[in-house]
């Protein structure tokens, strides 16, 4: 007779198989949509609306020049401006940008440095800085990346072309990290997983995830939903909270650019365990803000990992491997299919060799970090830890 845990494991396995298959179908739908017109994202003659790239920088003196070098090297044929918002930096970020702007102005690059609004427009510091940058910009398309990122030369062109190909109001992109080392390689595989989650949801018109390291939307959409006013009280989430807000309020059409020539790389390098822990706590904390179907999905995913943890403990201590092995093996198979299908570049597919390590780490990561984030809050970069947020949640 099956134990209750066995029944739960089987149900969990069916859930994960169905969810992963749904995401896989969403990725394929997204790719078809991106190629929906006669020219794909890499078209040699994309639409060229005016573009404003806005970068909020706080204490990024070590990385900002690399970001600006990459943005100034964009091959975009339309009007392009770069606006850096100094978000209350206490290091030499502003000086580094000013020096760079003086050198770049001689080459005709349109780059400006402004200070974050004072007093802040929103409680969330990055949202306030971005809102100030948007107010100072003029582009039809607003594009965002982080100060510690290096967008490739085709990033703006590919993102703009995907607006044209999909008719989207908001386009999400893929971001990676360039750090080396065993842990970093597993984290890079996690980036692929988050990208697959984002594109799989977007392929079905569902706002599950995105990253502010590669994100763009129409100015008209930003104005239509009142900017960040509805989510400005939330400390983090200038990307995914805004994504979910515009889908709920404006029924915005979504697109995903998986062009291999548009993969943004984070250049921060290796981070300490402490820094990584705060980052993951911040990411995990966002799940508690959702309502409706997204919250139900979050509970289901969390319950699935709880059952996996119990099943693994039973397998190790009691030898109950059959059902657990079948359920976990199904997960490995579906994850490999999903990530292999999503992978924009060949190197992303090579990362699947680290999948066994990631599968082991993900059980304690989900089981432990989600409640820890809810109980203890999170730290935003070099600021004091933020307590769990209790203000109104994002709907849908």
Q: Which residue has the tokens 């979504």?
A: 254
What is the pTM (predicted TM-score) of this model? 0.86
CA pair distance 239, 372, nearest whole angstrom: 22
Element at 306 (helix H, strand E): helix 292-318
Domain interval for residue 21? 4-26+288-386
Q: How far from each other are the two terminal CA atoms of the chain, in whole angstroms?
A: 40
Residues 6+ apart with CB under 8 A from 293: 396
The encoded tokens of residue 139 equal: 């582009």
Number of domains composing the chain: 2
pLDDT of residue 38: 39
**DSSP conformational letter for 58:** S
The answer on 317 and 253 residing in a single domain is no
CA pair distance 68, 101, nearest whole angstrom: 9
The answer on 214 and 335 residing in a single domain is no
Q: Is residue 35 part of a domain?
A: no
| DSSP state letters, 356-395 | HHHHHHHHHHHHHHHHHHHHH-EE-TTSPEEPPP-SPPPP
The encoded tokens of residue 217 equal: 């939307």
CA pair distance 141, 72, nearest whole angstrom: 17
Q: Is residue 394 part of a domain?
A: no
The answer on 237 and 221 residing in a single domain is yes
| DSSP state letters, 33-77 | HHT-SSS-TT-SS-----EEEEEEESS-TTTHHHHHHHHHT----
pLDDT of residue 292: 58
The encoded tokens of residue 131 equal: 């809102």
Cα 195 from chain centroid (whole Å): 7
Peptide bond connecting 119 to the previous residue in cis, omega within 30 degrees of 0: yes
The answer on 130 and 18 residing in a single domain is no
Q: Is residue 395 part of a domain?
A: no
Residue-level pLDDT, tens digit, the chain, 396 residues? 468 888 999 999 999 999 999 999 999 999 999 886 534 444 444 468 999 999 999 999 999 999 999 999 999 999 999 999 999 999 999 999 999 998 876 556 689 999 999 999 998 999 999 999 999 999 999 999 999 999 999 999 999 999 999 999 999 999 998 767 777 778 788 889 999 999 999 999 999 999 999 999 999 999 999 999 999 988 777 899 999 999 989 889 999 999 999 999 998 765 554 555 545 545 555 555 555 566 678 778 888 989 999 999 999 998 889 999 999 999 999 999 999 999 999 999 988 998 988 888 888 878 777 666 665 554 545 554 444 444 334 444
Q: Do residues 51 and 139 touch, judged by C-beta distance below 8 A?
A: yes
């Amino acid at each position: 007779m099956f134990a209750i845990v066995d029944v739960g494991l089987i149900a969990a396995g069916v859930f994960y198989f169905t969810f992963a298959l749904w995401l896989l179908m969403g990725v394929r739908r997204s790719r078809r949509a991106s190629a929906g017109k006669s020219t794909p994202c890499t078209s040699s003659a994309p639409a060229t609306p005016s573009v404003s790239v806005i970068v909020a920088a706080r204490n990024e003196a070590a990385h900002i020049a690399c970001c600006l070098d990459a943005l100034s090297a964009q091959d975009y044929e339309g009007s392009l401006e770069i606006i850096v918002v100094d978000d209350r930096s206490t290091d030499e970020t502003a000086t580094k940008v000013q020096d760079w702007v003086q050198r770049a102005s001689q080459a005709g690059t349109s780059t400006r440095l402004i200070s974050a609004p004072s007093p802040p427009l929103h409680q969330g510091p990055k949202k306030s800085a971005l809102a100030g940058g948007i107010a100072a910009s003029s582009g039809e398309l607003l594009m965002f990346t982080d100060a510690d990122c290096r967008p490739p030369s085709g990033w703006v062109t590919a993102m703009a072309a995907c607006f044209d190909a999909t008719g989207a109001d908001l386009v999400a992109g893929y971001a990676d990290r360039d750090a080396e080392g065993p842990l970093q390689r597993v984290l890079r595989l996690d980036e692929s997983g988050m990208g697959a989650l984002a594109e799989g949801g977007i392929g079905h018109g569902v706002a599950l995830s995105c990253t502010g390291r590669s994100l763009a939307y129409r100015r008209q959409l930003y104005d239509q939903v009142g900017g960040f006013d509805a989510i400005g009280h939330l400390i983090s989430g200038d990307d995914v909270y805004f994504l979910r807000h515009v889908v709920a309020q404006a029924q915005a059409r979504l697109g995903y650019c998986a062009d291999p020539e548009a993969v943004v790389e984070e250049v921060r390098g290796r981070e300490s365990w402490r820094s990584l822990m705060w980052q993951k706590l911040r990411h995990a904390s966002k799940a508690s803000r959702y309502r409706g179907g997204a919250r139900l999905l979050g509970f289901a995913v969390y319950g699935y990992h709880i059952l996996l943890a119990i099943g693994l403990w039973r397998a190790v201590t009691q030898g109950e491997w059959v059902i657990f092995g079948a359920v976990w093996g199904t997960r490995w198979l579906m994850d490999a299919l999903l990530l292999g299908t999503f992978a924009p570049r060949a190197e992303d597919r090579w990362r699947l060799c680290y999948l066994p390590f990631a599968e082991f780490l993900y059980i304690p990561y989900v089981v432990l970090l989600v409640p820890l984030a809810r109980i203890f809050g999170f730290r935003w970069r070099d600021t004091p830890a933020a307590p769990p947020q209790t203000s109104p949640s994002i709907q849908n």
